[in-house]
Structure 1
Amino acid sequence: MYKLKNFKTIIIIGLTAIISILIVQLLWTKQAYNLEEKKFSQKVHIALLEVAKKLYEGINHDFPTDTPVKKIANDYYVVNIDNDFQPEILEHYLKTEFSRFNINTDFEYAMYNCQSDEMVYGDYISVTNEKPSKINVHFPKHKNLVYYFAIRFPNETSYLFASLRFWFVLSFALVLILLIYVYSIYTIIQQKKYSELQRDFINNMTHEFKTPLSSILLASNYLQKNEKIGTDDKLNNYTKIIINQTKKLNNHIEKILDIAKTDDDIMKLDKKKINAHQLISDVIEDIQIKNEAVTIKNNIAHNIEILADEFHFTNILYNLIDNSIKYCNQIPIIEISSHEEKNSIIFECKDNGIGVPNTNLQEIFDKFYRVPNIENNKQITGFGLGLFYVKKICDKHQWKISAKNNTPTGLIISLMISKK
């Protein structure tokens, strides 16, 4: 429960931090846009003022003290000249001054015609020499002005956005990061829910199975002790089969429970120093009572000690040896040995079984995985949980486990345990 609260707190803090950064970034982008718009307006104003000064040159009128340039809208300007001028000269001055002030966007202009008392459209000037197919622009007439022209920047907004490309790319990247973060958290929460449901289902299922199994095993033991059953060979054999199969099913249920425990983060290991040779000898002795024909060699040095959870390490040995026995089409010969490499002890479990195709070696530690098309695979009981459990326990101990095929036949499972 404590870890769950910490997890939720981390999610909230991370989400709040990313949203805050995104909001600040958007505010900065808006401010940058406003500054860029102001800067553009100032450059246009100065450029048009220079155009007006050049149109005033060579005449007797003094340049007005009040600025002749008026901004009517964000993209629309009017310049009062108070003197007759030619369209060709105006266009030349506009191109020259806009180029000098680095105003690299399309514009169009119109002039007031005294005779017709209306604005006469001049031309559309494109920086790329590509004019739009249709030009329907209205240049409104202004009172109290006679000799003046108007300028419009049809692409001002897109031009300003282009100049802030870096800001928008950064904002988009932050939005993308936020979406990925939210999706990742959502996925983690969903997987956690599914994992909890799966674990609850397994715990409930195994509990419901173990109750009737215990009753069957108890009744079978009473039957076996019955004199009439003992004197009847068939009934005695049937009773033994029931007992053996019940024990086998009970072992499978225990294995499923162990897997459910390893999926739980709260599982703790009871690590202590154990004598590897003695523990392996005890496991071999127990297995050979049930499998008299199996040859198991213990080549572990007598003085080797490891820091491990005795219960789970014992289960690792049982699983490895049990697999070696099951996946063998001859009399099983198993050898458990060890050697030292730098700061590690390497335990190896070799067998003379049927081995595993090289293409499937990396998958044998996956949950519920059973090698497809392997010889006699359908006749071998199990859920594909044994080696998954072994891998889980090794990970909990921070050990490394690997598998490779033996020569000429069989499999070698290697377990690397640090001396520290």
Structure 2
Amino acid sequence: MKVNKLNIVIVLGLIAIIGILVAQLLWTRQAYTLEEKKFSQKAHIALLEVAKKLYEGVNNELPSENPVQKISNDYYIVNVNNDFEPEILEYYLKTEFEKINITTDFEYAMYNCQSDEMVYGNYISLSSKSKTKQSVYFPKHKNLVYYFAIRFPNETSYLFSSMKFWFVLSFALIVILLVYVYSIFTLLQQKKYSELQRDFINNMTHEFKTPLSSILIASNYLVKQEQVKTDEKLEKYAQIIISQSNKLNNHIEKILNIAKSDNSPLALDKRPTNVVSVIRGVIENVLLKYPQSNVQIDNHSRDYYIEADEFHFTNLVYNLIDNSVKYCEGRPEIMIRMSEEGQTLKIECIDNGIGISRKDISFIFDKFYRIPSTKSNEVNGFGLGLYYVKKICNLHHWKINARNNPDKGITITLLIPKK
């Protein structure tokens, strides 16, 4: 059901973005058409003003019909029943185009009734990009005696340049669509890999638990036999089997719990919890397991209370201290320091371990991540301890970070809002 909902959301989002993109392209096309009409109107007005100026100072009157005719998108002819000089025409064209803000290049030619052909063509560059002369050819038109023709060779590029905003917006929408498609593809791939990983972990751990249970049952039965009890070596070996089997069973349970919590969120039972009491209880258990360790609390004999799930908070503290003991080459010296910063309780776990390289310290809370080192190869584990710690912090909305100490070891800091 969840997959179907996800697919529906993906399809609807894709349809919406494609619809917006199609609408944007249609608007861009409409905007180009409007710009083309606007340019044509401006050209008509300018050429009509030129025709009026050519009639000034002569007895002939401007004809009632519009002398300006648009032959094609970029080609215009102006019928003027009056003789005029090319220099004057060019001056009027430049002046009127400048007034009406037509800044693209143009070329013009005049009809010579004596030679019955278009003569005196010239290319006028209004931009600083091209100043070279170009050849000009205009076809002759019937039933016209005194007229001139105008062509705008760069009209299309000129119109496109005036629509930069529309093209930038269209390009941005295309990029958004591509990013959306790529993100969805990546999301589905990650979801697929996550499901495969979770299924593999569940199958692997369940397959391990069956023979492990048999080993534990057989080992517990074996250690009770009289032959084993009377033989010191056999009893020692049997206890090693039981101890290591229990350790492996704990690892499998931890993997199963992590996989279960990834599939469905953990339900927290938050209650007022005495932080110092929990940490002292954890330290007692750690010292039973690692009697050579030195773990102390520095809190100035104060009690702090927070809203937390006591079970998971206890496991969190145990994982932090247990990691500090494991990754220490000499005698473990661990200090749990607590202090208040406004309405926040700050808990620091400071050790004298081997430390972590700067490039690896940001990955220590990732699932299955283990820092490649000689000590890591000696310590058994799956890289789930600190991942579990980070997950519990996120569920409680706490902050956690790690940093290297100036001399030796690392400090893991926990920031907990007080209530």
The reply to whether TM is greater than 0.5 is: yes
Residue matched to 2:171: 172
Residue matched to 2:397: 398
Does the CA-based 8 Å contact 2:123-2:133 persist in structure 1? no
1:351: Cα distance to partner?
3.6
Residue matched to 1:74: 73
Query: For the residues of structure 1 that align with 2:32 and 2:193, how far apart are their CA atoms?
Result: 47
- Once superposed, what is the RMSD of the aligned Cα atoms? 2.9
1:175: Cα distance to partner?
2.5
5+ unaligned residues in a row in structure 2: which ranges?
none
1:8: Cα distance to partner?
5.1
1:13: Cα distance to partner?
5.3
Residue matched to 2:289: 290
**Residue 152 (str. 1) matches residue 185 (str. 2):** no
* Secondary structure, counterpart of 2:368 in structure 1: coil
Residue matched to 1:193: 192
Residue matched to 1:203: 202
Return the letter of the residue paired with 2:101.
N
Query: For the residues of structure 2 that align with 1:249 and 1:74, how far apart are their CA atoms?
Result: 83
Does the CA-based 8 Å contact 1:262-1:392 persist in structure 2? no
Query: For the residues of structure 1 that align with 2:79 and 2:270, how far apart are their CA atoms?
Result: 92
Return the letter of the residue paired with 1:97.
E
Choose 84-93 or 42-51, whichever is displaced more: 84-93
Residue matched to 2:308: 308
Return the letter of the residue paired with 2:27.
W
Choose 407-416 or 203-212, whichever is displaced more: 407-416
1:73: Cα distance to partner?
0.9
Query: For the residues of structure 1 that align with 2:391 and 2:407, how far apart are their CA atoms?
Result: 29
Residue matched to 2:343: 343
TM-score where L is the length of structure 1 = 0.87
Q: Deviations over 1:218-270 (max 9, x none)?
A: 22222222222232333322222222222222222233333334434533323
Residue matched to 1:60: 59
1:180: Cα distance to partner?
2.4
1:167: Cα distance to partner?
2.3
Number of aligned positions between the proteins: 417
* Secondary structure, counterpart of 1:142 in structure 2: coil
Q: 1:415 to 1:115 in 2, by over 3 A?
A: same
Query: For the residues of structure 2 that align with 1:177 and 1:192, how far apart are their CA atoms?
Result: 22
1:328: Cα distance to partner?
2.4
Query: For the residues of structure 1 that align with 2:133 and 2:150, how far apart are their CA atoms?
Result: 20
Residue matched to 1:139: 138
**Residue 39 (str. 1) matches residue 38 (str. 2):** yes
Residue matched to 1:318: 318
Query: For the residues of structure 1 that align with 2:406 and 2:124, how far apart are their CA atoms?
Result: 82
Residue matched to 2:245: 246
Q: 1:345 to 1:6 in 2, by over 3 A?
A: farther
Query: For the residues of structure 1 that align with 2:347 and 2:202, how far apart are their CA atoms?
Result: 33
1:105: Cα distance to partner?
0.9
Does the CA-based 8 Å contact 1:278-1:302 persist in structure 2? no
Query: For the residues of structure 2 that align with 1:84 and 1:64, how far apart are their CA atoms?
Result: 15
Query: For the residues of structure 2 that align with 1:18 and 1:90, how far apart are their CA atoms?
Result: 52
5+ unaligned residues in a row in structure 1: which ranges?
none
Q: 1:102 to 1:302 in 2, by over 3 A?
A: closer
1:161: Cα distance to partner?
1.3
Does the CA-based 8 Å contact 2:123-2:134 persist in structure 1? no
1:168: Cα distance to partner?
2.0
Does the CA-based 8 Å contact 2:86-2:120 persist in structure 1? no
Does the CA-based 8 Å contact 1:321-1:334 persist in structure 2? yes
**Residue 216 (str. 1) matches residue 221 (str. 2):** no
1:321: Cα distance to partner?
2.1
* Secondary structure, counterpart of 1:376 in structure 2: helix
Query: For the residues of structure 2 that align with 1:112 and 1:298, how far apart are their CA atoms?
Result: 104
